[in-house]
């Protein structure tokens, strides 16, 4: 457990980080999703969740926003559990595509989408989730995201879902193409509804932090003690987060921040440092890749300041300040 004094020092450091990044203008912001989210441009929250249950939350950590692409992590996790590693790998790869999240590109050698963190792969992951129909699949996924977050009341925002279902040509195009190539099976509309339903679940940065903390804690929510996913697949999920989680900026993120993470177009970023802690950041201004500008900048500095980069020289690591591993809980 982090000592009381250490916890206070970390809280002050995080508050300082938050204050400074809030004050920096949004010159690098190129868009908001949806465009009306521009009215939320001032929102900025961060929360972390250690495997020992310690949490920090700063700024708009209780403001709700849709998961969007962050949901791909959980959909893939359940697809893996339902089908096993080998069968899942046959349908969706684990290679970064280097293309934008909604690009129409596939691993043609293996006849599958490159990875489950871009739309093509996430649509196949939704296809892999077990259930007699779309409704059952959505119910199973919702149950899982609630466990990750430790909040049994998480819900799908029906307005967000309806809006996405009508501005969905790209996902429809991808799906028809993939079905014609044998990558996707069954009813396309139903499959998209499964995928977009989880995208439309709203969370807070605090909950996102707990979701990352659950992944960091081997699939068990560090606050509730409930298991959200099978332990043997946690490494598969965190691996693709680290190589593909930030879309076509994944390499830059790996090099600058060095913490497995997943972003979504609503401006959220979830990260997980296995054995230590998870976190969630929210700020809606996006860069050209669809990643939160403030979120990225803050995480870059957070990693630097606390020595969190997983590939850094161990002498530079100052993990202990923010989290100590507690394997009894894993």
Examine residue 119 and tell whether it contacts ligand GLN (CB under 6 A).
Answer: yes
Q: How many helices (H) and strands (E) does the chain have?
A: 13, 7
Examine residue 113 and tell whether it contacts ligand GLN (CB under 6 A).
Answer: no
> Residue 308 CB, nearest distance to ligand GLN (Å)?
24
Q: Which is nearer to ligand GLN, 150 or 290 (CB)?
A: 290
Q: Which is nearer to ligand GLN, 101 or 277 (CB)?
A: 101
Among 46, 13, 11, 51, smallest CA distance to 323 is for 51
Q: Which is nearer to ligand GLN, 127 or 164 (CB)?
A: 164
Among 322, 270, 293, 309, smallest CA distance to 22 is for 293
Q: Pick from 219, 290, 295, 325: which binds ligand GLN (CB under 6 A)?
A: 290
Examine residue 88 and tell whether it contacts ligand GLN (CB under 6 A).
Answer: no
Q: 85 and 233 in contact (C-beta within 8 Å)?
A: yes
Q: Pick from 54, 55, 151, 171: which binds ligand GLN (CB under 6 A)?
A: 171
Spatial separation of the C-alpha atoms in residues 127 and 76, rounded to whole Å: 10
> Residue 4 CB, nearest distance to ligand GLN (Å)?
38
Q: Which is nearer to ligand GLN, 51 or 196 (CB)?
A: 196
Examine residue 127 and tell whether it contacts ligand GLN (CB under 6 A).
Answer: no
Q: Pick from 18, 21, 43, 68: which binds ligand GLN (CB under 6 A)?
A: 68
Among 115, 105, 103, smallest CA distance to 262 is for 115
Spatial separation of the C-alpha atoms in residues 186 and 77, rounded to whole Å: 21
Q: 323 and 2 in contact (C-beta within 8 Å)?
A: yes
Among 69, 89, 82, 67, smallest CA distance to 236 is for 89
> Residue 184 CB, nearest distance to ligand GLN (Å)?
15
> Residue 266 CB, nearest distance to ligand GLN (Å)?
7
Q: Which is nearer to ligand GLN, 22 or 165 (CB)?
A: 165
Q: Pick from 17, 199, 273, 293: which binds ligand GLN (CB under 6 A)?
A: 199
Examine residue 265 and tell whether it contacts ligand GLN (CB under 6 A).
Answer: yes
Q: Kindly identify the residues of this chain, within the stretch 3-62, that bind ligand GLN according to CB under 6 A.
A: none
Residue 55 backbone dihedrals phi, psi, to 5 degrees: -130, 155
HSE on the CB side for 304, CA within 13 Å?
10
Q: Which is nearer to ligand GLN, 55 or 71 (CB)?
A: 71
Examine residue 69 and tell whether it contacts ligand GLN (CB under 6 A).
Answer: yes
Spatial separation of the C-alpha atoms in residues 201 and 311, rounded to whole Å: 33
Examine residue 264 and tell whether it contacts ligand GLN (CB under 6 A).
Answer: yes
> Residue 181 CB, nearest distance to ligand GLN (Å)?
19
- Count of residues that bind ligand GLN according to CB under 6 A: 12
Bridge pairing between strands 261-263 and 65-66: unpaired
> CA-based Rg of the chain, rounded to a whole angstrom?
18
Three-state DSSP state, 204: coil
> Residue 33 CB, nearest distance to ligand GLN (Å)?
7
Examine residue 164 and tell whether it contacts ligand GLN (CB under 6 A).
Answer: yes
HSE on the CB side for 142, CA within 13 Å?
18
Residues that bind ligand GLN (CB under 6 A): 68-69, 101-102, 119, 164, 171, 196, 199, 264-265, 290
């Amino acid at each position: 457990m982090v000592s009381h004094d250490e916890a206070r020092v970390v809280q002050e450091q995080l508050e300082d980080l938050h204050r400074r990044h809030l004050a920096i203008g949004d010159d690098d912001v190129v868009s908001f999703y949806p465009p009306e989210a521009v009215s939320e441009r001032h929102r900025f929250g961060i929360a972390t969740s250690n495997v020992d249950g310690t949490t920090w939350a700063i700024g708009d950590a209780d403001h709700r926003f849709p998961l969007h692409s962050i949901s791909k992590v959980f959909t893939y996790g359940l697809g893996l559990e339902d089908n096993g590693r080998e069968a899942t790998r046959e349908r969706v790869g684990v290679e970064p595509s280097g293309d934008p999240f909604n690009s129409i590109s596939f691993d043609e050698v293996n006849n599958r989408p490159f990875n489950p963190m871009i739309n093509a792969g996430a649509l196949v992951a939704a296809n892999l989730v077990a259930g007699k129909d779309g409704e059952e699949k959505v119910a199973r996924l919702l149950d899982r995201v609630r466990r990750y977050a430790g909040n049994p009341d998480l819900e799908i925002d029906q307005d967000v879902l309806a809006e996405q279902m009508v501005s969905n040509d790209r996902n429809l195009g991808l799906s028809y193409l993939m079905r014609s190539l044998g990558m996707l099976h069954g009813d396309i509309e139903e499959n998209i509804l499964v995928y977009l339903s989880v995208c439309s679940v709203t969370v807070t940065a605090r909950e996102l932090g707990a979701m990352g903390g659950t992944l960091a804690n081997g699939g068990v929510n560090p606050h509730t003690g409930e298991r959200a996913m099978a332990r043997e697949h946690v490494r598969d999920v965190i691996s693709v987060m680290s190589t593909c989680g930030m879309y076509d900026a994944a390499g830059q993120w790996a090099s600058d921040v060095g913490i497995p993470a997943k972003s979504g177009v609503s401006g959220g970023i979830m990260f997980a440092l296995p054995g230590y802690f998870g976190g969630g950041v929210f700020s809606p201004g996006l860069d050209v890749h669809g990643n939160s500008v403030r979120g990225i900048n803050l995480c870059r500095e957070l990693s630097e300041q606390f020595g969190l980069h997983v590939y850094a020289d161990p002498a530079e690591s100052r993990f202990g300040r923010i989290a100590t591993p507690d394997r009894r809980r894993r």
